[in-house]
Amino acid sequence: MGDATAKYSGRLSINPLAHFDLVGFLCMLFFHFGWAKPVPINPDNFKNRKKGIIYVSLAGPVSNLAMAIISAILLGIVGKFTGLGALLKTREMLMGLDVLVVMLYYCIILNIGFMIFNLIPIPPLDGSKVLMEFLPGRIKYRIYQYERYSFLILILIIYSGILDPILSFLSGLILNPIFKLVTII
């Protein structure tokens, strides 16, 4: 896409320490809400600025979806070869199942949750960056004026539970076909 900022910052790494944010980690421990260091980008380096921002912003949620689908395929394969297929079809309690099955199950649930959460159109989440690219300049500017308060707004929305019904509905829309995939395999 033309931007090498992440490469020059040493952030193109699978080493988790390169992405570790101490404050985000501490918040995760104490408030059950945390974050990692964002990967730096410079939109001015993109060959096509708008398309570059959209692609970069969607990379995380698309990766979460891919991880969920891969985990579902693996869960289906493991279920087929371990005789857990009937249990997986009913999505009953996973107590007593293999550690691998439980890990794959939660990998699906968590990745879909992260995908949906990151698509919420409130800064600094990815959904806001995608939305901003489709808004007229004057509206973008107005939203950017309030961006410094967006983290507080986001935390209030999360803890108030206002979005819970919407997020649950969206999770169901995505999780049901994914678990259907598990039973087909």
Q: 41 near 6, Cβ under 8 Å?
A: yes
164-184 and 49-82 helices, crossing angle to 10°: 50
55-79 confidence digits (pLDDT tens) = 999 999 999 999 999 999 998 888 7
Residues present in the chain in total: 185
- Largest Cα–Cα separation, the chain: 59
Low-confidence stretches of the chain (pLDDT < 70) are: 82-98
What Rg do the C-alpha atoms of the chain give, in angstroms? 19
For residue 152, the SS3 value is helix
Task: Using CB atoms within 10 Å of the CB of residue 17, give its burial: 0 to 12 exposed, 13 to 18 middle, 19+ buried.
Answer: exposed
Q: Which residues of 45-60 are buried (b: 16+ CB within 10 A; e: fewer)?
A: ebeeeeebbbebbbeb
Q: Supply the pLDDT for residue 150.
A: 87
Q: State which amino acid sits at residue 37.
A: K
40-60 confidence digits (pLDDT tens) = 888 888 889 999 999 999 999
Q: Supply the pLDDT for residue 116.
A: 95
Q: Supply the pLDDT for residue 118.
A: 93
